Structure 1
Amino acid sequence: MATSLTQANVLSTQSVITESLPTENNTPQYFSVTIRQDSLTVTLDGPTIFILSASLIFAIQFLQPVTVAVLIGLATIVLFVHNDYQNFIKLGPGGTPSTFTGYVRINWLKLWALRDPFKPLPSDQAAQPASGILAKKPLPYRCGPRPRVVGIAPQRQVNQFGSKECYLALRRILENHGRVHTEEMGIGTSCFEKHGLGLFSRYPVNNTCQGEICHVHNSDHSLHLNLHSEDAKEVIEKGWGQRHPLTSRCFLFKMPVPRQFTMVYAPRTRDELKVVCQIIEAAGWWVIAKEIRLDVLGEV
């Protein structure tokens, strides 16, 4: 059943730009964050090596072998969890709070996560609309290797962030689209991410998350959106994106994102921005079952 967006969830263009830093003349200054993921490393200086060696000798002499093994195992686990938690925090704000509780929740969801994000979503005969839209104009192949993607919620690229110019142009396109089609569309803060600029349908056919069509990440310039299974297959096979890890089917509980949830890599050039806009149009087709073209004139 189609539902309308409340005024609280669809905001004005001025109020949704929460990822910018105000300058003296009140002009938003956008920034990009370098997303680091560090491997587990331990650096020991001379005094630390001496203390550890003495402690190990003491433990071997006065404790049972099983106890020593357990203590060494626990120390290794603590180091691993600490490093993994720091990497989770470095992904930045997203749909999951950047807290230890959020970290625990994400690791629980990892047990049910999709193992192969490049395996297309099985077709659904009962889906409406019945077919995708990208078959009318197939996508070109994306040049070069895929970027490295880590995390679940948040899910981020850690390289190939794309250009700042393309990111700003994409934001302007989405904002203009919301203004031109104000009776059907709205812009606001992403319902999925709780951060970032989102494009919404006021009367969705497939109610994704309050009608969200797509949202763009300020940190890595990638996007999340929902696509018909045929369109998602086209995006994945042509190298433009991949399925979200939580789009696997779980019979114990409902996953926090729809099965159609797809990540699209950050556009690096104006030509790639055109393709990304075509994919966003396909996301709109899935959500509202209506073809509405993005106005990209002047931006690409």
Structure 2
Amino acid sequence: MDVLFPQTIDIPSPITSLLSLFPQTILSLLFALTLPLLTLLYIHYDYCAFLSLGPGGTPSTPLGYLKIKLLSLVSLRDPYRPLPVPSYFRPQSGYLTSSSLCTRPGRRPLVRGIAPQRQQSQKSPASVYKLLVASLQSLSRDPTNALTERTSCFEKHSSGLFAKVPITRTCGGEICHAHPSDGSMHLTLHPADAKIVLEAGWGERHPLAKGGWFRRFVPREFVLVYAPREEREVETVVKVVEAAVWWVSGVDVRREDGESVKERGVGDEDALRASRRNECWACKMHGCGNKNVEKMVGSA
């Protein structure tokens, strides 16, 4: 006859339950304590990276940093993708041709930031940057180009070229401005010209160049042109600047027939009235009208 023994049931004691929960509680507590610390460390590091970009269109303050972080959530995700040419643009083609620019050798530089947006690698040597500035200033010294040099309406901490009678709406008629810290430039181009620049590897679109509501910050055709690394690259960058001059002012700096205004499908008087009405379309954001001249020359 089989003897049946009653099955024993282990009943955990309160102490055993506490010991089993102890590691999980400690991990949760450590996570709760370290997460804020890690967040603060990230914010500190990211804020220092923002300050390291130098002065620009956004104040180098905690409030300026917060503004840029919010804008980064809705910024352009693919800066190398060209804009299509809107059907209403006249002309449909730009100033440059497919053979105007050679392909930029090597990899693209590392670019960070929104405002300011700066190159972090492949910067211009000081001698190359001075040559670039001299080339830009020679454009403004030619009275037939109808250009002037003054403090950038977008950056406010570097100098730029402006059209005296702009026919394309930018901030105060600004054509371009240079960045002494790295040698790069910001400028506004016809979409067809911007496409050639992007595909040849000489630049990228600004993160806020999305059009619509974002036009309060920069034009939809706003482009960063990479810094020339050697003297022969200055010539290529100047070609892009000439395209920007043509787009904003209508002036062909390489004209041979004496004509300075390209046909845009709008009369000169209408263009003048439009430019006067819209030249400070971003005044509230960028502070147009600042007459303090800050020369483009600076150490790269």
Pick the TM interval, shorter chain.
Answer: 0.7 to 0.9
The answer for the alignment partner of 1:118 in structure 2 is 80
The answer for the alignment partner of 2:233 in structure 1 is 272
2:47 aligned with 1:85, yes or no?
yes
Alpha-carbon distance between aligned partners in 2 of 1:197 and 1:151, rounded to the nearest angstrom? 20
> Radius of gyration: which is bigger?
2
Alpha-carbon distance between aligned partners in 2 of 1:117 and 1:208, rounded to the nearest angstrom? 20
Deviation string, structure 1 residues 2-33 (Cα, Å, up to 9, x no partner)? xxxxxxxxxxxxxxxxxxxxxxxxxxxxxxxx
Is 1:228–1:260's contact at 8 Å kept on the other side of the alignment? yes
How do 1:234-273 and structure 2 match up within 5 A?
234-249=196-211, 254-273=215-234
SS in 2 for 1:135: coil
2:142 aligned with 1:180, yes or no?
yes
Deviation string, structure 1 residues 170-220 (Cα, Å, up to 9, x no partner)? 111222221222771100111110011200001111121101111100000
Is the deviation greater in 145-154 or in 168-177? Answer: 168-177
Is 1:129–1:286's contact at 8 Å kept on the other side of the alignment? no
Quote how far apart the aligned CAs of 1:111 are: 1.0
The answer for the alignment partner of 2:193 in structure 1 is 231
Equivalent residue for 1:202, pick from 156, 160, 164: 164
Alpha-carbon distance between aligned partners in 1 of 2:246 and 2:144, rounded to the nearest angstrom? 17
Is 1:247–1:255's contact at 8 Å kept on the other side of the alignment? no
Quote how far apart the aligned CAs of 1:118 are: 0.5
Quote how far apart the aligned CAs of 1:72 are: 2.0
Unaligned runs of 5+ in 1: 1-59, 295-300
How do 1:90-169 and structure 2 match up within 5 A?
90-135=52-97, 137-169=99-131
The answer for the alignment partner of 1:56 in structure 2 is none
SS in 1 for 2:162: strand
Alpha-carbon distance between aligned partners in 1 of 2:51 and 2:89, rounded to the nearest angstrom? 37
State the AA in 2 paired with 1:140. Answer: C
TM-score norm. by structure 1 comes to 0.73
Deviation string, structure 1 residues 111-148 (Cα, Å, up to 9, x no partner)? 11110110111211222443201117521101111111
Deviation string, structure 1 residues 33-91 (Cα, Å, up to 9, x no partner)? xxxxxxxxxxxxxxxxxxxxxxxxxxx89x88766533322111111001000000000
Is 2:145–2:253's contact at 8 Å kept on the other side of the alignment? no
The answer for the alignment partner of 2:289 in structure 1 is none
Unaligned runs of 5+ in 2: 1-21, 256-300
2:236 aligned with 1:290, yes or no?
no
Judging changes above 3 Å, is the alpha-carbon distance between structure 1 residues 230 and 254 closer, same or farther for their aligned structure 2 residues? Answer: closer
- Which consecutive aligned stretches of 4+ in structure 1 deviate over 6 angstroms post-superposition? none
Alignment coverage as a number of residue pairs? 233
The answer for the alignment partner of 2:296 in structure 1 is none
- Give the superposed CA RMSD: 2.2
SS in 1 for 2:246: helix
State the AA in 2 paired with 1:206. Answer: T
Alpha-carbon distance between aligned partners in 1 of 2:31 and 2:98, rounded to the nearest angstrom? 62
Judging changes above 3 Å, is the alpha-carbon distance between structure 1 residues 188 and 91 closer, same or farther for their aligned structure 2 residues? Answer: same
Alpha-carbon distance between aligned partners in 2 of 1:243 and 1:106, rounded to the nearest angstrom? 17
Judging changes above 3 Å, is the alpha-carbon distance between structure 1 residues 288 and 137 closer, same or farther for their aligned structure 2 residues? Answer: farther
TM-score norm. by structure 2 comes to 0.73
